[in-house]
Chains A and B, each alone.
Chain A
Amino acid sequence: MAVDLATIVLLLIAIPAIGGLACLPFRKGRHMAIPVMATSVIVMIASIALLLDIHSRGVSSYEINEAEFGSASWVIAILDFALMLFFVYTGFRLKNRLAMAFGLLQLIPMAGLEMAVYGQGVEPAIVIDYLAIVMALVINIVGSIICIYAIKYMEHDNAQPRFFAIMLLFLGAMNGAVFANNLLWLFFFWEVTTLCSYLLIGHERTAEAKESAVRALVYTLGGGVALAFGIILVNNYYGTLSLKTVLNADTLGGIALLPFALMAVAAFTKSALVPFQNWLLGAMVAPTPVSALLHSSTMVKLGVYLLIRMSPVLDGSNALAWTIALVGSMSFLATSILAITESNAKRVLAYSTIGNLGLITMCVGINTSLAISAAIILLLFHAVSKALLFMCVGVVKHETGEVEIDAMSGLRDRMPFVSIAFAIGVFTIMLPPFGMFASKWLISEAAISLPLLTFLLAMGFAATIVYYSKWLGRVLAGGSKVDRPSLAKDHISRIFRYTLGALAAGAILMSFLISWIVKYMVNPYIELDFGSSVGGSGATIFSSLGEFPIVVLLVVVGAMFLLATLFSKPKKDELSQPYTGGESYQFETGGFYLMSRLTRDRLNGIANLVAVVLLVILVLIPFAIEVGTWL
């Protein structure tokens, strides 16, 4: 089936943009459904077609030259400058000197670069490999489901046209970013996602929203400055702006690693790792679809995506790789412990997201075949489960207005469908035998290559279990009753049911199919640079250090849950009351948050300090190596 791949990529980038624009003229929220659904269907089909087509061609990557896209480079360059000017203007308008400074620091050097490479084409412009396809599938399928969910969620909102326009535009930008091989195109799409994030966080127009939006803008613009300088230095040291060429070049070593250190810093800001985590936590004031789409499944993954792309370069320097691994594992540990202390559901999920991104970063730093495989699997499964969790929290907020964990106590009786979807989300994200756990297992095995990391990992894993279990326990707390909570009784809209159900079913299904996912979607990318070390054989996943009989466990656990749920109805005369020393009051219990606010802030401060030190070391390493070679 020789479909023109260039067309598909163009569709993936352009259709969401057009769909977004098509949303603008509408007044009523209901009518927004048409362009949103149309866009969703098209991009979902397009991304799956892309996967099938690449698979049928039997190649690991496919390149598309700039010529196929006409004068795309011109368009992108012009839009890029417009965007950077907009950032400078925004900084000026908000009287935020940092934003203005960052905007100028991007604008002027990039202008210089564009003039320097004027006329030189960058070949290839687009590279489609399995990493990009995995990201594209996540963006388009999970993203579309979230957009459809948002149709119902935002039904009472005042500015829906603008909201959906930006959401869809964002999807297109993400698609562009993961396929771009031309670093200038990558930069442009990166900055578009920054813009979308800024606009969407400030959507509600409250004072808190505006403040969070500006903070997010400043942080991610700072990352953009690092990226800009990184790209300029790449051109300086390697003479090319093609990512693929740069990654396959023999690294010049020493100072020539500096651009990658800078790009790593840019990735850290985009993925909100420590010490940049504040912007993501503040971004939780945005409407839940925004949190689900941008701030857990897709945009923040762009940073770690760049890191995974860069991983071949890290062979050149152990110090660089180890520092990146340390930043990642520190983020994981710090955020996992801090999540125990949070009582706001969205902030807990935000901390969890940062923690998992930290894990992926750590894997990139470990830089072995096992680690990178684990990273990609984690990326894939985390997107689905986290989106599901955010959407559940969103439904609860939509129906009850509550977003505190303690207020969700006993949700099982009030909203059974959402509780079960939530339970599936939590199970798939932290427990065996599901997919995310498979990646955690691979990560544990990979971590023994760098034994220091195992200590940070072990505490983080235990902390993860604590905060998810106590939250899920709160939700599942039920009174004394005979009937099982009936799924049909839950009065939530059909759109919510379908989208939540789709993601829940998807998460479970993907866990069953993990061997195929490893074989057909992960290994083709891994084999390019590392040689695969994770294999699947239908029922078991093998790694070089052990094996995981996932399907057997899934069947056992699933059967047991099914049987237990079906046959576990207590009879009327078997009901008991809670033991409260003979009293018959109803008791409400407070939650458990491990540490006082003072200790928590202190912990936050220490984590930030250590992370800043690590970042400084990261940027100084190329200089140190260079000095070392002189001596």
Chain B
Amino acid sequence: MRATDRSRVKSPWILHFDTGSCNGCDIETWALLTPRYDIERFGMLNKANPKHADILLVTGPVSMKVAPRLKNLYDQMPEPRLVIAVGNCACTGAPFEECYNVHGGVGKIIPVDVFIPGCAARPEAIIDGVVLGLKLWKRRAFSPNASSVSAPAGGVEVKG
């Protein structure tokens, strides 16, 4: 693997976006930044800017209003990038799947690489999911112009 590929695994920067969740999964995600879980030891930083981020961590069932914004942010992320859906709402939209104002899961808008179920998804599960995403990167070496890794249909599930 080239040096940049190895470095990418060691330094994944995160963009955390909430598409209408109850903030339960968001709180768990932010808990990762605290000394107890400390994801900075993996080199992960919470960057608010899609142009700087490698991993898009999405929570929430993607309401109609926020969908174009989500797509906008996804387009502004340079490859190689990962999309990780955190929580049940982001995975399938449950329990809001049938609601009229909700798309029902991040996968309906942008391609997702890792699904992390849970309500709220536990911090340990989120860490597991991100590490799994990094393994996806490790498995395929990237060239910068390749399009995003599209996960196999249905994505890879983390047993939470």
Contact = CB atoms under 8 A, between A and B. Distances in A.
B49 A579 contact: yes
Contacts of B75: 577
Nearest to B50: A579
A579 B51 contact: yes
A584 B72 contact: yes
A70 interface: no
Interface string B70-92: 10110110100000000000000
B68 interface: yes
Contact of A583 (B72, B78, B145): B72
Contacts of B72: 577, 582-584
A581 interface: yes
B51 A576 contact: yes
A574 to B, nearest CB: 9
B6 interface: no
Contacts of A579: 49-51, 76
Contacts of B69: 581-583
Counting chain A residues whose Cβ lies within 8 A of the other chain, the interface size class is under 10
Contacts of A581: 69
A415 B68 CA distance: 34
B73 A582 contact: yes
Contacts of B78: 576
A481 B54 CA distance: 24
A573 B76 CA distance: 11
A584 B145 CA distance: 25
Nearest to A576: B76
A580 to B, nearest CB: 9
A579 B145 CA distance: 21
Nearest to B144: A574
A581 B68 CA distance: 11
Contact of A584 (B49, B51, B66, B68): B68
Interface in B18-52: 49-51
A582 B51 contact: no
A390 B141 CA distance: 55
User: Is the contact region of chain A dominated by helix, strand, or loop, or is it mixed?
Assistant: loop
A584 B67 CA distance: 13
Residue of B50, B70, B72, B73 contacting most chain A CB atoms (<10 Å): B72
Contacts of A576: 51, 76, 78
Contacts of B68: 582, 584
Interface string A577-591: 101011110000000
Nearest to A584: B72
Nearest to B74: A582
A584 B69 CA distance: 8
A67 to B, nearest CB: 77
Nearest to B72: A582
A63 to B, nearest CB: 69
Nearest to A582: B69
B47 to A, nearest CB: 11
Residue of A579, A581, A582 contacting most chain B CB atoms (<10 Å): A582
B70 to A, nearest CB: 7
A582 B18 CA distance: 12
Residue of B66, B73, B75, B76 contacting most chain A CB atoms (<10 Å): B76
A573 B78 CA distance: 11
Interface string A543-586: 00000000000000000000000000000010011010111100
Contacts of A577: 72, 75-76
Interface in B87-102: none
A576 B50 CA distance: 11
B68 to A, nearest CB: 7
Interface string B51-68: 100000000000000101
B134 to A, nearest CB: 25
Nearest to B77: A576
Contacts of A573: 145
Nearest to A583: B69
Contacts of B145: 573
Interface in B111-142: none
A579 B76 CA distance: 8
A582 B70 contact: yes
B115 to A, nearest CB: 22
A579 B75 CA distance: 11
A320 to B, nearest CB: 58
A586 to B, nearest CB: 14
B31 to A, nearest CB: 24
Contacts of A582: 66, 68-70, 72-73
A588 B78 CA distance: 25
Contacts of A584: 68, 72
A297 B66 CA distance: 57
B9 to A, nearest CB: 24
Nearest to A578: B76
A582 B145 CA distance: 23
Nearest to A580: B72
B78 to A, nearest CB: 8
B63 to A, nearest CB: 13
Interface in A574-623: 576-577, 579, 581-584
Contacts of B70: 582
A573 to B, nearest CB: 8
Nearest to B73: A582
Contacts of B51: 576, 579
A576 B52 CA distance: 13
A573 B72 CA distance: 15
Interface string A85-98: 00000000000000
B18 to A, nearest CB: 11
A582 B77 CA distance: 11
A579 B72 CA distance: 9
A401 B78 CA distance: 41
Contacts of B66: 582
A451 to B, nearest CB: 45
A43 to B, nearest CB: 55
A232 to B, nearest CB: 70
A575 to B, nearest CB: 11
Contacts of B50: 579
Contacts of A583: 69, 72
Interface in A358-405: none
A576 B69 CA distance: 15
10 contacts: A573-B145, A576-B51, A576-B78, A577-B75, A579-B51, A582-B72, A582-B73, A583-B69, A583-B72, A584-B68
Interface of A: 573, 576-577, 579, 581-584
Given A582-B66, A584-B72, 19 more contacts: A573-B145, A576-B51, A576-B76, A576-B78, A577-B72, A577-B75, A577-B76, A579-B49, A579-B50, A579-B76, A581-B69, A582-B68, A582-B69, A582-B70, A582-B72, A582-B73, A583-B69, A583-B72, A584-B68
Going nearest first, the 7 A-B pairs with the smallest beta carbon separation are A582-B69, A582-B72, A582-B73, A576-B76, A579-B49, A584-B72, A579-B51
